[in-house]
């Protein structure tokens, strides 16, 4: 259901998307691609959060569809939070130190103030030519580094449609793989020191 409604987000005309483009003042909206980086096979991104200002702006450009989409996103976010809580309990049980606000994790008040951000990404079929694949990969690396600095986090859950490669970059190196259809990939962010988590 969410995937069907999410498709409607990307069908909004370009001139309307520009009205809700992300900016330093707006943490949500459409990710704008500039100049020659705007290649037809690049992905599109829309960052959603349960923000009243966002709801008003989006209902102005997509009045009927956004209400249904937002309701489904809230349900999905709730389910993702349940899974994330279980993963954090597991990490807590296998960590060398207590995982809490004093060690980088946000407390409930900070979480409520910051809220969750969901990034919806539409992937286009990419050509297999080596040069184009390398350019696309380079773009993905830059995008990931920027996203990590904008949204420092403890844990990130990725709901994968199985249509494209998944890239993970850390201090230890680079990993790419193709997740199965409907798989859930969990990545640990800056606010958890993965090296101090013991996994059996």
Domain boundaries in the chain?
2-196
Task: For residue range 157-177, list pLDDT tens digits in order.
Answer: 887 776 667 777 777 777 788
Categorize the per-residue pLDDT at 87 as very low, low, confident or very high, splitting at 50, 70 and 90: confident
The residues, any chain, with a CB within 8 Å of residue 131's CB and separated by 6 or more, are none
Give the closest residue to 155 by CA, choosing from 72, 71, 70, 89.
89
Nearest-angstrom CA–CA distance, 183 and 100:
28
- Average confidence (pLDDT) over 181-189: 80
C-alpha distance across the termini of the chain, in Å: 36
The residues, any chain, with a CB within 8 Å of residue 88's CB and separated by 6 or more, are 99, 154, 155
Categorize the per-residue pLDDT at 38 as very low, low, confident or very high, splitting at 50, 70 and 90: very low
Categorize the per-residue pLDDT at 128 as very low, low, confident or very high, splitting at 50, 70 and 90: low
Give the closest residue to 139 by CA, choosing from 18, 41, 22.
41
Q: What is the pLDDT of residue 149?
A: 61
In whole numbers, what is the pLDDT of the chain averaged over residues? 71
């Amino acid at each position: 259901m969410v995937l069907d409604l999410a498709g409607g987000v990307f069908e909004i005309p370009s001139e309307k998307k520009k009205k809700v483009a992300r900016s330093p003042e707006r943490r949500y909206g459409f990710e704008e691609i500039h100049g020659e980086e705007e290649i037809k096979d690049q992905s599109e991104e829309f960052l959603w959060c349960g923000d009243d200002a966002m709801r008003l702006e989006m209902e102005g450009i997509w009045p009927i569809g956004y209400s249904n989409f937002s309701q489904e996103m809230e349900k999905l976010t709730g389910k993702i939070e349940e899974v994330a809580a279980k993963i954090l309990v597991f990490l807590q049980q296998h960590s060398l130190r207590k995982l809490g606000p004093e060690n980088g994790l946000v407390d409930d008040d900070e979480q409520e103030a910051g809220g969750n951000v969901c990034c919806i990404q539409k992937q286009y079929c990419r050509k297999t030519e080596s040069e184009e694949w390398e350019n696309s990969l380079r773009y993905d690396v830059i995008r990931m580094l920027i996203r990590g600095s904008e949204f420092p986090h403890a844990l990130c859950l990725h709901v994968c449609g199985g249509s494209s490669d998944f890239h993970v970059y850390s201090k230890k190196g680079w990993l790419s793989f193709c997740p199965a259809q409907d798989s859930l990939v969990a990545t640990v962010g800056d606010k958890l020191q993965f090296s101090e988590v013991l996994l059996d």
